[in-house]
Chain A
Amino acid sequence: MIIKVISIIVLPLIALIIGFFFLGLSRKVIARIHRRYGPPISQPLIDVIKLINQESISHGKLFDMGVILSLAGSVILVLFIPFGGIAPLATSGDLLVIIYLMLLAPLGVALSGGEAANPNVSIGISRKMMLALGYEVPFLFSLLAVMTWYKTTSLVEVVKAQQSFLWAIFYLPLPAVAYFMILPAMLGIRPFDIVSAPQEIASGTAVEYGGRYLALTTIQHAFHIFIDIALFVNLFLGGGNLLTFFVKMLVVFLLGLFINAVFPRLRIDQAIKYCWKWPAILALVGLIIARII
């Protein structure tokens, strides 16, 4: 019981640290690819601390609550995803719950941004929603392939099954590839940074955020990166202990970053069509294979 409580407290912290590390790392790596020097890896953290102490504007109660909901939703999501064998709440919710809990964060942002009454926000939300509709198709196919293959909806069981034998990526390479292909869309990084496109719609959903709001959304983003990649590692790369899990996450993240950093930004309709084409087909084929065998 005590271990559980401790892990409930510790796990979000670990996730936060890893998330911030990835955030900083991504800026550094992209800068290097662009032949720039780039900011220090701790820059995002510094930014957040700075933002917390800045004054900001608010558009109403929902504007505040949405942001809080968004971050809280991400925090609890961490508790359901096994991290190197630690999964304090795995018995309270399975993959289905995880899929649904992933909703809370964007919903919070959308509600909060909605009250801001800024058209840029509305456009941003609309893009976020459409993009989600795009990547959900291959995402769900991939998840279903895994669940069908292992005949369980529990993520812990999936991980356990992989650790006893081969990783899922060897049985289900196509869904894994599909998941990997849409990972940037889920994370909102290039070439799928349509939602926040600073040059077009002034950062979209974040346009009205300043100070603590921006701080919370940045933290949420850090969690988000952690969650999406941890999910991938759990589903396809067989989890692992604390260290191997982290290494796997790093590999996945860097691979995604390297491949995608060189692409220009897509238009939203191109993004949807992209998601519904190759990743969806690959994942679907994978699902059919998983269903038949």
Chain B
Amino acid sequence: MVNPSLLIGLPLAFAFSIPLFGLISKKIEKYIPIIALFINMVISFMLIPQILKKPIVVSIGGWSPPFCINLVVGPLGILLATLISGIGFLVSIYAVSYIKEEPTEKYHILFLLLMVGAIGIVLTGDIFNLFVFFEILCISSYALVAYYKDKEGTEAAMKYLIQGSVGSSFILIGVALLYGFFGTLNMADIASRITSANPTYLFITLAFLITGFGIEAAIFPLNAWLPDAHSSAPSSISAILSGIAIKTGVYGVARMVYTIFNANSILLFIAFLGLLTLLIGEMCAFRQDDIKRLLAYSSIGQIGLIIFALGIATSLGVFASLFQIVSHALAKALLFLAAGYMIYRVGSKSIASLNGLGKKMPLTSFAFTIGSFSLIGLPPFAGFVSKLSIVYAAMQVKKPVFLAFIAIALIATIIEAGYFFKIVQNLYFKEGKNLDKITESSGYILIPIAILAILIIVIGVHPQFITGLLKASARELLERAGYIGWVLGGT
């Protein structure tokens, strides 16, 4: 059917054709990402049923798997690719009217490159290739964070860049060591031979890789860049960073720990780290006065929850974790987009300045409310089902330690509820100042926000839309023999 490599190739081609289109007309270029990502989204949707039947392995260069760069499009890959293209598509619609500061064509190029990087990460089957896509993602996001070239943006980009490149170097070290041990870069191949190496050395390799991906995944204490970068970037980019970029880091960690290293012994520690991240993220978010910074810290918290669920390591736990990835991506993208436009209208990032916006920007505020309710985990929104699954997964293990963990995680939810409910009240029930000139967002802003809000409700009401794919993805992570089999054939 459709070749999955199009998922990477198309946006890449579109990205570099933007200046060409710019020659024809300056107005076209901002629609290019929409087109590119729309096609991407359609392709990935079309691929889903096929991949659920049988995963696709694309070899580039004509050699058979261990000897070439290949794409492994399993359920997990297609799930995340769909999520990425979908949210990217919505955000690119948003950007049409949101990004006004020149040079806009550079914004769109970088944005598409970011998408390429993210999709590449989740689809590739080659660990060095993974690193390269990772770097594409990182470099374009460094540049996008500093897009406004203002004081905050550059400072955040600088800090993000330094931490990010240390992380990339660590990943590269890990890749080098793996190559040194096994003489291959194919992840399935490495995975099949993982038992042949000295476990201690292997663990050091894993530690480098986890640290490297952990920086992007914002595991505590590697997440210091996140609040800075997410809060200073343009809101559309914040949405992408929170919704997608950090998820690729989580994907990296999951892929390394589950598929390649089969490191079950460290999972409990990972769960603990996730819990710590959750607690610290929520605590910090509680004390923020800056709405975007608050959302950024809340992302840390949610990532903590995702990683915690990942550490449960049962099929339900991984399922719940992936579910939480989806629901958080939708909700956080929505929140950043909505908050971004409110900030744009109000001219201030402080929470107090959002007072009374519910009457002036009813739809945006309403969507914001849905997003925050979903994040808290209130029915009937998507966040409820994913949180319920996490709690259930943790309970199902029947280990006292997980019981304690989940109790603490629930306490963190109370903190989370504390600040989100406060913001919702600010929107609707507090009297604002100088709101006379504020009007509702325009169409390009509202469309993505509305779609996200509807998706949150639809998934919350009828989670079966995605649970099949999520289950298959969870199986992909847990049954590494299957993954190896797809790529290398046999088993």
A and B touch in the complex (CB under 8 A): no
Residues of A within 8 A of B (CB): none
